[in-house]
Amino acid sequence: MQFRIIRDIKTQRADFVFYSNRIIRILVEEGLNHLPVQATSVSTPTDLTYKGLKFEGKICGVSIMRAGESMEQGLRDCCRSVRIGKILIQRDEETAEARLFYEKLPEDIKDRYVLLLDPMLATGGSAIMAVDVLIAKGVPVERILFLNLISSPEGIDAFAKKFPKLKVITGFIDEGLNEQKFVVPGLGDFGDRYYCI
């Protein structure tokens, strides 16, 4: 139901944000389920021991600006005091090629598991460039998870060919890309609909 609502051109911004946030929270929780855990025990108020699990390691989120920033709050809602890095990559509208403009990442990012955040995976160019930036900073590809709401088969294919060991957590795989390299049926420009309209 949430995907129908956020795809509808008639959906007002408040509803678009609300339902997008619901989907983002589910994606973040699913992403966290893919991180390594270790067995641990705790004492309960009934003087018994409970055997459970705890996360093994440190994490951070890295949003591909601007639309990826919409996913940061969902990560913060699940992980208190999580560090957030930023990468600004913009797609040239004429060539559909990605260009890196800016990156600001935690100094110890190579020691963390990284949840890469971007709501749309179209050609895969921006996501591939973002992963290249993370790898250049020393992050092992196996420690990166890419979270997005909607993907194109072409983007998933390009991404998987370049990074076969990297996990992609997506909410929906659409039909494909149109001539302008936009995901179809898609939902339009996610960042504009989330922040502006």
Residues involved in catalysis: 91, 95, 189, 192
| Residue 95, C-beta contacts closer than 8 angstroms, at least 6 positions apart | none
Question: Helix or strand or coil: residue 164?
Answer: coil
127 closest CA partner among 95, 93, 161? 161
Tell me, letter by letter, the H, E, C secondary structure of 16-76: HHHHHHHHHHHHHHHHHCCCCEEEEEEECCCCCEEEEEEECCEEEEEEEECHHHHHHHHHH
67 closest CA partner among 147, 165, 169? 147
Residue 191: phi and psi, rounded to 5, are -60, -45
Q: How many other CB atoms are found less than 10 A from the CB of residue 165?
A: 9
Q: For Cα atoms 148, 154, 155, give the angle at the middle one, nearest 5 degrees.
A: 30
- Which DSSP symbol is given to 122? S
DSSP bridge pairs for 20: none
